[in-house]
Amino acid sequence: MSLRYTDNLVRRACRVKSRAARAILVSLSAVVAFGLASSLYAQNDGSARVRVIKPFIGYEETFQWSDVPEIISEGANAEKGADALEYAWASDLFFEKQIWQLQFAYKNVRTIDVDYPTADGKLKTKRVWYLVYSVTNTGKQLKAVQDESIESDVSQTIVDQNREKKTFEFPSNNLKGVYRGEETTYAKGDEEGAIEFVPRFVLGSASIQDRLVYERKTPGGLFYGQIRGTEEGLYYDSYDPIAFAKIARKEGRKGQNFLDTTHISTRKILPGETVWGIATWTDVDPRIDRFSVYISGLTNALRWEITGDVDPNQVGAGRDVWRKVLKINFISPGDEAHSGKEIYNNLPGELDYEWIYL
């Protein structure tokens, strides 16, 4: 239904001779117009809408093939023959893991002005950026299990220095192509499927209006302008009790309980349970017009790569580790005096959200 339709109702009402009928048509057009306006407002005010991102676990996230260089280096220093083979199993090893991922729901980022007391007894107003969200443990997890229908040779026989034959049994998890994905579903309230959510919320922008620039164009004249996108700003979520209390009063419904980033990580979320939280950022540059929120802790999926010299005495040395992180993209058009309702989750030509490894 369009505004043109309501306009036609008004025009028809004016042509009706009966005063009672005309009043009915005018009232009807007013109701239709009000309903249409409310609908448009609900669509444009994305901050009031809760968006849900359902868990997505790929089979490839349940395992990784990798060397264990600390063990291989020991084999390289051993004598040739049987001793060297004893370390060969640490090459191209299969690492398996049961992966979980929380369901994430959120309202668009908003801002709120908060008064803070100062040392001289006065109040200072600061703008706080915040994200209202919830996490749900669906109870579903995925792991890689060995496919017993596939037969593979897991042994190797060599002749040692004394010309004696020796057979070495290699671990079955050293074989490619013998694993398949298996989903485990925990019942509601089952403590075995409980998940600890230890989040980190980072607001990042690469589109700050960086600085004012003066460039000489003509003798005696100056050109005035701005450079955009030359500086990247990162802001980390921190617990702000004053802002948290005000946001909770504004956003919460009756009986709804919010947790901050610190306290939400101190409890386990049972299968079927939903927990609400609030992330806040202060001292954010108000000139930001495009930014993303990076959320870690929603899953235990990770990848690693051996990058340098390893230290046998230090586990994990010489490796880069990346964790699966949710990235939500936002746009905040307008000047620095914007209100929270101007922040949207639909950047032109970009994804609303994406899963990345950082």
pLDDT by residue (tens digit) across 210-248? 444 444 444 554 444 444 444 568 899 989 999 999 999
Of the ranges 64-68, 117-121, 153-157, which one carries the lowest mean pLDDT score? 153-157
Domain identity same for 254 and 339: yes
Domain identity same for 22 and 58: no
Residue 1 forms part of a structural domain: yes
Q: How far apart are the first and last CA of the chain?
A: 46
Q: Which residues have a Cβ under 8 Å from the Cβ of 15 and sit 6 or more positions away? A: none
Mean pLDDT is highest, among 86-90, 116-120, 148-152, 309-313, for 116-120
Residue 78 forms part of a structural domain: no
Residue 186: left if φ>0, alpha if ψ -120 to 50, beta else—which one?
beta
| Res 169: pLDDT | 57
Token couple for 320:
């880069």
Rounded distance between C-alpha atoms, residue 133 and residue 151, angstroms: 48
Q: Which residues have a Cβ under 8 Å from the Cβ of 58 and sit 6 or more positions away? A: none
Please state the rounded mean pLDDT for residues 258-263. Answer: 94
| Res 94: pLDDT | 80
* Angle, CA of 238, 297 and 46, to the nearest 5°: 70
Q: How sure is the predictor about 158, in pLDDT bands with cuts at 50, 70 and 90?
A: low
| Res 89: pLDDT | 73
pLDDT at 290 over 60: yes
Of the ranges 85-99, 174-188, 198-212, which one carries the lowest mean pLDDT score? 198-212
**Angle, helices 3-15/19-44, rounded to nearest 10 degrees:** 170
* Secondary structure element (H or E) that encloses residue 331, with its range: strand 319-331
Domain identity same for 3 and 62: no
Residue 86 forms part of a structural domain: no
Q: Per the structure, how many domains does the chain have?
A: 2
Domain identity same for 302 and 346: yes
Rounded distance between C-alpha atoms, residue 343 and residue 333, angstroms: 7
Residue 81 forms part of a structural domain: no
Domain identity same for 109 and 213: yes
- Contact predicate 126/282, CB 8 Å: yes
| Res 25: pLDDT | 44
Residue 156: left if φ>0, alpha if ψ -120 to 50, beta else—which one?
beta
Residue 124 forms part of a structural domain: yes
| Selection from 141, 143, 104, 77 nearest residue 271 by Cα | 141
| Res 320: pLDDT | 87
Rounded distance between C-alpha atoms, residue 74 and residue 111, angstroms: 57
Give CA separation, 20 vs 16, 24, 26, 320, in Å. Answer: 9, 6, 10, 78
pLDDT at 160 over 60: no
Rounded distance between C-alpha atoms, residue 317 and residue 263, angstroms: 32
| Res 71: pLDDT | 79
| Res 46: pLDDT | 40
| Res 10: pLDDT | 42
pLDDT at 276 over 90: yes
* Angle, CA of 349, 354 and 358, to the nearest 5°: 120
Please state the rounded mean pLDDT for residues 330-353. Answer: 73
Q: How sure is the predictor about 209, in pLDDT bands with cuts at 50, 70 and 90?
A: very low
Token couple for 325:
């992180």
Residue 89 forms part of a structural domain: no
Q: How many residues does the chain have?
A: 358
Domain identity same for 36 and 61: no
Domain identity same for 292 and 342: yes
Q: Taking the CB of residue 64, how many other CB atoms lie within 10 A of it?
A: 16
Residue 24 forms part of a structural domain: yes
Please state the rounded mean pLDDT for residues 83-107. Answer: 84
Q: How sure is the predictor about 84, in pLDDT bands with cuts at 50, 70 and 90?
A: low
| Res 286: pLDDT | 84
Give CA separation, 238 vs 128, 199, 203, 263, 318, in Å. Answer: 11, 11, 11, 12, 31
Residue 175 forms part of a structural domain: no
Domain identity same for 50 and 38: no
| Res 16: pLDDT | 46
Of the ranges 32-41, 138-147, 189-198, 256-265, which one carries the lowest mean pLDDT score? 32-41
Q: How sure is the predictor about 66, in pLDDT bands with cuts at 50, 70 and 90?
A: confident
Could you tell me which residue, 286 or 243, shows the higher pLDDT? 243
Domain identity same for 311 and 335: yes
Token couple for 13:
């009402």
Give CA separation, 313 vs 70, 76, 89, 310, 318, in Å. Answer: 9, 17, 20, 9, 12
116 DSSP β-pair partners: 124
Mean pLDDT is highest, among 6-10, 15-19, 51-55, 80-84, for 51-55
Domain identity same for 243 and 288: yes
Rounded distance between C-alpha atoms, residue 67 and residue 14, angstroms: 83
Rounded distance between C-alpha atoms, residue 354 and residue 294, angstroms: 10
Domain identity same for 127 and 6: no
Q: How sure is the predictor about 133, in pLDDT bands with cuts at 50, 70 and 90?
A: very high
| Res 75: pLDDT | 65
pLDDT at 70 over 70: yes
Q: How sure is the predictor about 92, in pLDDT bands with cuts at 50, 70 and 90?
A: confident
Q: Whole domain around residue 236: which residue ranges?
A: 46-66+95-142+186-357
Please state the rounded mean pLDDT for residues 13-34. Answer: 49
Of the ranges 37-46, 89-98, 166-175, which one carries the lowest mean pLDDT score? 37-46
Domain identity same for 349 and 228: yes
Instruction: Check: pTM over 0.75? Answer yes or no.
Output: no
- Contact predicate 238/280, CB 8 Å: yes
- Contact predicate 236/262, CB 8 Å: no
What's the whole-number average pLDDT of the chain? 76
